[in-house]
Chain A
C-alpha cells in the first residue's frame, strides 16, 4: 500500500472516568468469595494467576488452536466430536424454534383468519395435547422493567457485542496475516520455480495432477519405466520453498559402481560419489534425481544385455554383473547407494586398476547416451507398417563394446609381449628381427558427415569389431609375417580371433591355419614360422659359398632335413656328417649338433662313432657374452668331428 492506511478493527477502548463502584465491588466480593475474612493474599494471587491463564472465551477459541501434533485418527475423532456437537446444537435450536412455532400457532388457531395456516405448522404432539384455540391472548399494560433489569440487558448485549467485534477483528487480522504469509511463500515458491526454469530445466504441468507443477529432468528416450520417472512434482512447502516430490520413488541417490578384480582380488574401483557443489539446493536435488534415474536405467539395461552374453561367460546375480575380461581379470558392475558405495580399504588389494574401472564406468554411460540418441533416431523415422509382430527393442550395446575393448587389449598385450620375448631371444643370438604393432588399427577417426553428429560417429567406431595388426620381417630377405587380431562381441561368431599370414619364399607350401582362437596357438604358430626361418637362414648360409655342396676348405654346408622339426644336416666328404637341431621358444633359442655316421640321408646314425655333440642356447635375459648363432654355426660347420 502506497500511503499508510490504518483501520482500527478492534473496539475502541475508552478510558472514561470511572464512577465510584466500590460498594458494588464489595457486594460482588461478598457474593463471590463470601466473607472478607476468608480472603487471603495467597488465595487471591492464585486466583489472579488462574484468571490470567484463562481467557473467558477460551472454550470458543479452543477449536482454532493449531493442531499440529494430532495425527489423523485423532483428527477424525475430533471431527466426529465436533460434528456431534453441531448436530446437538442444531437439534436443540430446532426444538426451541418448534416450541415457538407451536406457541404462536396455537395462539393463532383461535382466530378464524389464521387458523388453517396455524394448524399446519403445529407439531403433531401439540395437536394431541392441546385443542385448537385453547390459548387466549390479551394486551395488558405490564409494569415497566426495573432500571437494574434494563441495565442488565444493556450489559449483556454490550458484552456480547464487544466479544463479537473482538472475535471478528481477530479473525480479520488473522486472515490478513495468513494472507500475507501465503503471499510471501507463494512469491518464494514462484521465484524458486522461475530459478529452476532459468537454469534450463523444463517446467510443466503434471499430467496426472493438473494443479501441480513438475520439472522434467529425465530422458525422453529411455525405456518407458525410466522415462516416466523423469518427472517430479515441484511442491510448495509451508514456507514456500520448493520440494521435489518424486512420489513413490525412494529418495536414495544411487550409482553404478565398477570394480576390477585380478586373480580374485580387488584391484580397482570406479569413483562412486561426486560431491555436488550444492547438494541440498533444489538444483542439486534435481541433478541427483536425474543422475539416479540415469544410473538405474543404465544398470537395468546392462543386466538386460548381460543376460544375452551368457555364452561369453558373463554372469548376473541379483545386483551384480560379472564380465570376464581375460583369464585372470574380470570386471564387476553393481548398483550402489552413493553414500555406501566406496569400498573399504581392506577390500582393496591395490588401486592399480582404478583408472580402468573409471574408464569402464564412463564408457557405459557414454554408450547409454549413444543408445538414447539411436532411440530418438529410430523413433522419429517413419515407422514400418503395422504387423502382428512386436518390434523387438534390441539390447543396447553397453557391456559388449567395453568387454570387446578390454579383451582385445588383453590379447594384443599378450601377443605383444610374446613377440617382444622372441625378438629379445633372437637378438641375444645376434639375429636381427623386428616387428611393429598397430593396436586398434581398425579404429579410425571418422570423417565428418553433416547428417550424423560428430560425437555419434565417434562412438560408433567403438561398436565395430576391433582389429589390431602386427607386422614384421623375418630373417631371410623377403620373408615377412602379419598377424591380425580381431575381437567382436556383438555379432556371432563372438570372441577374439587371429589371422596370420606369412610370406616365406623358401617354404611356399606353408599355410598358417585360417582362424586361430587361442592366444597360445597363435603364439605357437608364430614361433614355428620363426623356427622355419632360422632353419632357412642357417641353410642359406652354407649355400652362399660358391663351391656348392662340397664347400671345400673344410667347411660343411647345412641343409634342412626336417625343417618343421628344426633339423638340419651337413654332409661331409670326409665322413664328418653332422646333424643340427634348432628349437625356439619365447624363453630361449637352442641349437644342438650331433655327428652322423655315414652318408645316410635318412639320418640313421651309425653306432660306435664317438661323438662330440655341441650345444648352445641363447636367452634374452642372460648378460654373459657368447658367440652369436652364426658364429656358432660357422664353428660347427668345420669339417671335422
Chain B
C-alpha cells in the first residue's frame, strides 16, 4: 500500500477532465433536445452524437492506457467522512458502487449471449493483429478505388471511354470535358444538338421562351430565373469590358460629341 505519486494524481486529473467534457457534451445534448420541438436538426444532432462518441473514445483510451494504475487503485472513505448521517452514506455508496447498473448489466448479458451463441463465429475479431491489418488496408484500398473515378467531371469514365459525343445530356450548352483534349468530340455534339433544335423549333434563331411565370394577379410579380452569367457558347467569347463609358455613349447619342473629343 502506498499513497499516490504526483504522476498518478495527474492521471486521475486527466480522467477528471475527460469526464467533465463528457458531462458537458451530454448536458448540451439534453439542453438542445429540450429546446427544440420535435428534434434539433439532424445535422446538429449528429454532430453532438459524434462529439459524445469522441469523448467516450477518449475516456476509453485513457482508461485502458492507465489500466495498470486504475485497476490497482482502491478508494475508501477517509475517517473525516461523516458516515453517521444516512444521506451521506447513500451518497458515498453511490460513489463507490462497483456493481453495474441493471441496464448495463443487461447490456453485458446481451453481449455475452451474442458472444456465446456463435461458437467459432467472429474469432477473427479476437485476432487483434489481423484487425489492425484490416484497418490499415481498408482506407488505402477505398481511397485507391475512389481515385479511379473522376468525381468532379461532367462525364463518367465509362461515358468517356464510349465517346463523350454519344452522351445524350439533353443540355443545349456543350459541357466541357476537362480530360478531353481534342475538340472534335464536343464539336460533333454541338452539331447534333443544333440540327435537333432546328427540327423541333422550326426557326433555328428562335430564342427559347421558357422559364417564365407570372404570379397571378399583379403584373409585376413575375418570377424569373436568370442564371448568373455562364458561357453558353461553344466557343466562349473573350470577355472584354467596354472601353467607352455609358454616359459618353449617351452624350454622343444626345448631342453628337464623340467620346474621344472630350
Q: List residues of A whose CB falls within 8 A of some B CB.
A: 5, 7, 11-16, 18, 21, 56, 76, 79-80, 83, 86-87, 90-94, 96-108, 110-111, 113-114, 117-118, 121, 125-126, 129-131, 133-142, 152, 154-163, 165, 190, 193-194, 197-198, 200, 202-208, 210, 216, 220, 224-225, 227-228, 231
Check A111/B4 contact, CB under 8 A, given A162-B115, A194-B170. yes
Q: Which of B188-233 contact A (CB under 8 A)?
A: 200, 208-217, 223-225
Q: How far is the CB of A99 from chain B (nearest CB, A)?
A: 6
> A155 to B91, alpha carbons, bound, how many Å?
33
Given the complex, which residues of B lie within 8 Å of A138, measured CB to CB?
Answer: 1-4, 73-74, 76
Determine whether the beta carbon of A134 is less than 8 Å from that of B9: no
Closest to A112 in B: B9
> A206 to B71, alpha carbons, bound, how many Å?
66
Check A107/B12 contact, CB under 8 A, given A93-B26, A126-B91, A137-B75. yes
Closest to B131 in A: A161
Q: Which of B243-260 contact A (CB under 8 A)?
A: none
What are the 5 closest A-B residue pairs judged by CB atoms, nearest first? Answer: A159-B115, A159-B114, A155-B115, A207-B223, A159-B111
Q: Does B145 contact A (CB under 8 A)?
A: yes
> A485 to B111, alpha carbons, bound, how many Å?
103
Q: How far is the CB of B8 from chain A (nearest CB, A)?
A: 8
Q: Does B182 contact A (CB under 8 A)?
A: no
Given the complex, which residues of B lie within 8 Å of A157, measured CB to CB?
Answer: 111, 115
- Interface secondary structure of B, over-half rule: helix
Q: How far is the CB of B145 from chain A (nearest CB, A)?
A: 7
Count the A-B residue pairs with Cβ separation under 8 angstroms: how many?
235
> A160 to B101, alpha carbons, bound, how many Å?
18
Q: How far is the CB of A195 from chain B (nearest CB, A)?
A: 9
Given the complex, which residues of B lie within 8 Å of A104, measured CB to CB?
Answer: 12, 15-16, 19
Q: Does B39 contact A (CB under 8 A)?
A: yes
- Of the residues B23, B34, B115, contact of A156 by C-beta under 8 Å: B115
Given the complex, which residues of B lie within 8 Å of A106, measured CB to CB?
Answer: 95
Q: List 11 A-B contacts (CB under 8 A).
A: A11-B122, A87-B30, A108-B12, A136-B78, A138-B3, A139-B1, A139-B2, A139-B69, A160-B111, A161-B122, A203-B210
Interface size of B in residues (CB-CB distance below 8 Å): 82
Determine whether the beta carbon of B16 is less than 8 Å from that of A118: yes
> A348 to B111, alpha carbons, bound, how many Å?
82
Q: How far is the CB of B211 from chain A (nearest CB, A)?
A: 4
> A106 to B78, alpha carbons, bound, how many Å?
11
Determine whether the beta carbon of A225 is less than 8 Å from that of B91: no
Q: Does B117 contact A (CB under 8 A)?
A: yes
Given the complex, which residues of B lie within 8 Å of A97, measured CB to CB?
Answer: 19, 22-23, 26
Q: Which of B12-41 contact A (CB under 8 A)?
A: 12-13, 15-16, 19-20, 22-23, 26-27, 29-30, 33-34, 38-39
Given the complex, which residues of B lie within 8 Å of A194, measured CB to CB?
Answer: 168, 170
> A207 to B87, alpha carbons, bound, how many Å?
68
